[in-house]
Amino acid sequence: MKTNLELCREAFQAINSFKRSRCLTQQYRKEGDELKSQYHELKMYKEFDRLELALRAIQKNERIVQYRQEHDDEHDEDEEDDDDDSEDNEVVEQEVEQEVH
């Protein structure tokens, strides 16, 4: 799994490539070269999709971190409360399993 820093680099590379293609699309359109203009226009869409994928991966990483933090906190609290009966612990474990699935 890529780190958020690596994913941010990919996102910025996609943004830079998008902007480059946007400029080239306009340039070739002014020159009347429709084939090259269309090529760079399609490349813009490709880079935008790459940007979206990088952002979704960052979001997924953050959700995983948040989920782990929330459940580590619950686990720590459970260890401190040794007076709880086993039925309460089973309910908590079932809830965690349901959240994972």
Domain coverage including residue 40: 4-100
Cα–Cα distances in angstroms (integers) from residue 94 to residues 31, 87, 89, 90, 98, in the given order: 66, 11, 9, 6, 6
Name the domain count of the chain.
1
Quick check: 51 and 18 in contact, CB under 8 A? yes
Residues ≥6 apart with Cβ < 8 Å to 54? 7, 8, 10, 11, 14
Give pTM, 2 decimals.
Answer: 0.68
Q: What is the mean pLDDT of each run of 10 residues along the chain (101 residues)?
A: 94 98 98 97 97 96 93 72 54 52 44
